[in-house]
């Protein structure tokens, strides 16, 4: 990989500068591989439990999974450049190598796929075409800004570069990501709450779980994007790479959680059915037990009356 570093590193970086540069990168790689392991488990669960899903759904899951592997491999390549091949070399430590690919470009592609899928789900739930259009437009905006950021990073592959074009592209990309995540979370919550008001019994609890899941996942991705933007703009170190390198993994795991949550809901529904059947059985058993308790009393009374009749007849005879 050709390394285009136009902005030179500091002449004499301090020990703290090196720590705040290498430490966040190492943490980002560790979290990235950990979340990839979680994603692999999620994909396995999906593959085992939903083999008859629509081809479109399967394609989305497997495309996102392959892109995440590519992103992790690219990030790991950079890690080897920093901590293995270029160990102790300051210019190498300040280089970003394939960062233009694994952070702004692949993360934007994965995030856009997930966001548009959620927008389509909102359309399917609410028939709100306007919300779907807003989600698609914001998602395409962050995707385009991610491509622009990748271009600027490729032209100047240095950690210290902060060109006006790069700052603008990163700001638009992450700002649009926060906006679209917020729109998705608020819209899905609103439409699910409205549907929950018309639901009864088991469906009410299922929708409550979906609402909680939507708020949690939307909040996580939005907060990660906000932290990434703040660290990039305000912190003159590599702190932004902790959240930047794992943002796509958060989107991917959010997608798989949505798919696999159907299994949890199915189990909850089965438990509810079993509980209802158990309550009905207990009620029937209680009723039957009361009948059995009454029958011996009635029979005893009949036998007692019969024996008394026989005694009277014997005495008369």
The three state secondary structure string of 301-317 is HHHHHHHHHHHHHHHHC
Position 157 in a domain: yes
Position 187 in a domain: yes
For residue 317, the Cα-to-chain-centroid distance in whole angstroms is: 93
| 292-310 pLDDT tens trace | 333 333 333 333 333 334 3
Range of the domain at 125: 15-275
Position 305 in a domain: no
How high is the pLDDT of residue 267? 65
Position 270 in a domain: yes
Average pLDDT of the chain to the nearest whole number = 81
As for how many domains the chain has, the answer is: 1
What is d(CA 199, CA 141) in angstroms, rounded to the nearest whole number? 37
How high is the pLDDT of residue 204? 64
The list of the chain residues with pLDDT below 70 reads 1-7, 196-204, 266-317
Position 295 in a domain: no
| 125-165 pLDDT tens trace | 888 899 999 999 999 999 999 999 999 999 888 887 788 89
How high is the pLDDT of residue 46? 96
CATH of the domain at 31: 1.20.1070
Instruction: Provide the β-strand partners of residue 95.
Output: 158
Main-chain dihedrals φ then ψ at residue 222, nearest 5 degrees: -65, -45
What is d(CA 208, CA 214) in angstroms, rounded to the nearest whole number? 10
For residue 213, the Cα-to-chain-centroid distance in whole angstroms is: 8
**pTM above threshold 0.85:** no
């Amino acid at each position: 990989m050709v390394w285009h570093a136009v902005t030179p590193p500091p002449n004499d970086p301090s020990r703290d500068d090196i720590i705040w540069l290498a430490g966040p990168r190492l943490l980002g790689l560790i979290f990235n591989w950990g979340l990839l392991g979680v994603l692999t488990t999620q994909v396995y669960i999906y593959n085992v439990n939903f083999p008859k899903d629509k081809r479109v759904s399967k394609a989305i899951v497997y495309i996102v999974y392959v892109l995440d592997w590519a992103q992790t491999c690219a990030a790991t390549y950079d890690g080897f450049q920093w901590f293995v091949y270029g160990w102790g070399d300051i210019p190498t430590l300040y280089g970003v190598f394939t960062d233009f690919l694994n952070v702004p470009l692949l993360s934007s592609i994965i995030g856009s796929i997930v966001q548009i899928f959620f927008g389509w789900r909102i359309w399917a739930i609410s028939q709100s075409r306007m919300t779907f259009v807003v989600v698609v437009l914001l998602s395409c905006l962050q995707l385009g800004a991610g491509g622009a950021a990748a271009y600027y990073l490729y032209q100047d592959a240095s950690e210290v570069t902060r060109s006006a074009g790069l700052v603008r592209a990163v700001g638009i990309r992450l700002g649009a990501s926060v906006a679209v995540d917020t729109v998705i979370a608020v819209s899905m919550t609103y439409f699910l709450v409205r549907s929950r008001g018309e639901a009864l019994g088991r469906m009410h609890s299922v929708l409550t779980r979906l609402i909680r899941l939507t708020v949690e996942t939307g909040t996580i991705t939005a907060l990660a994007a906000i932290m990434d933007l703040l660290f990039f703009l305000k912190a003159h170190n590599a702190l932004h790479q902790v959240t930047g390198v794992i943002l796509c993994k958060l989107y991917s795991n959010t997608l798989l959680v949505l798919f696999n949550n159907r299994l949890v809901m199915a189990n909850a529904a089965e438990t509810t059915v079993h509980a209802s059947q158990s309550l009905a059985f207990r009620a029937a058993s209680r009723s039957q037990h009361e009948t059995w308790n009454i029958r011996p009393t009635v029979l005893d009374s009949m036998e007692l009356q019969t024996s008394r009749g026989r005694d009277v007849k014997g005495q008369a005879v």
